[in-house]
Chains A and B, each alone.
Chain A
Amino acid sequence: KAGVTQTPRYLIKTRGQQVTLSCSPISGHRSVSWYQQTPGQGLQFLFEYFSETQRNKGNFPGRFSGRQFSNSRSEMNVSTLELGDSALYLCASSLGGTSYEQYFGPGTRLTVT
């Protein structure tokens, strides 16, 4: 099976702009979770989508949003970018049960200037 894919792999944006990141899960996986990874804060949970519905949400401002399509592919959007949004954004897919055995993509490296 193909693994989790994320596009783009690298992105440079200017403060105030918005950005959309994409994630394609492993075939058959219905849950997609998004994480932000920074050297200072580590891996932080953004939100999880399951069957096109947001199931769980972390403690991030409303500028961070997401959605999931009927084929389980997911997108994450960040509006009004701030310098502190520079990070590696990771998505992970799982079957959708409560065990959260997740498989991660390679991430999108976002740099905000």
Chain B
Amino acid sequence: LAKTTQPISMDSYEGQEVNITCSHNNIATNDYITWYQQFPSQGPRFIIQGYKTKVTNEVASLFIPADRKSSTLSLPRVSLSDTAVYYCLVAFNNAGNMLTFGGGTRLMVKP
């Protein structure tokens, strides 16, 4: 069964590092993992994408262990403007490229 699972919500404080984990047990060898950020009344915004090990860009890092059954989005030094819902997305090749989003993690950053 192609499924991605995330925590429903997380709280943090400004300046802290936030790690959000997504589990995707049935991921196939060639499936990519992509993370998005969504604000109310907007479409999801691309944050980062990875395939294995670690990927870093100017806003986030993505850690993927060797078994690839989970991935962790890391946001360094969050600010109030990072309050949003974060989604992981996997295109499960072994399920006909079913593009499957996790349920989303609502991150609340407090001052």
- Residues of chain A having any CB pair with chain B under 8 Å: 4, 33, 35, 42-45, 48, 55-58, 90, 92, 98-107
- Contact sample, A vs B, 11 pairs, CB 8 Å cutoff: A35-B101, A43-B87, A48-B97, A92-B44, A99-B49, A99-B51, A100-B32, A100-B34, A102-B46, A104-B45, A106-B41
Bound Cα distance A98, B32 (Å): 8
Query: Considering residues A35, A43, A58, A103, which has the most beta carbons from chain B within 10 angstroms of its beta carbon?
Result: A43
Take A43-B101, A100-B89, A101-B49 as given contacts and tell me if A106 and B43 are in contact as well, using a CB distance cutoff of 8 Å: yes
A residues in contact with B101, CB < 8 Å = 35, 42-45
Inter-subunit contact A90/B99 (CB<8 Å):
no
Q: Which range contains the number of B residues in contact with the other chain?
A: 20 to 34
Task: Please report which residues of chain B, range 69-111, place their CB below 8 angstroms from some CB of chain A when the two chains form the complex.
Answer: 87, 89, 91, 93, 96-101, 103-104
Binding site for A on B (CB under 8 A): 30, 32, 34, 36, 41-46, 49, 51, 87, 89, 91, 93, 96-101, 103-104
Please classify the interface of chain A as helix (H, G, I), strand (E, B), loop, or mixed, using the class held by over half of its residues.
Answer: strand
Please state if A90 and B44 are interface contacts (CB–CB under 8 Å). Answer: yes
Residues of A with C-beta under 8 A to B45: 104
* CB-defined contacts of A48 to chain B, threshold 8 Å: 97, 99
B91 and A98 form a contact (CB under 8 A): yes
Give Cα distance in the complex from A105 to B44, angstroms.
Answer: 8
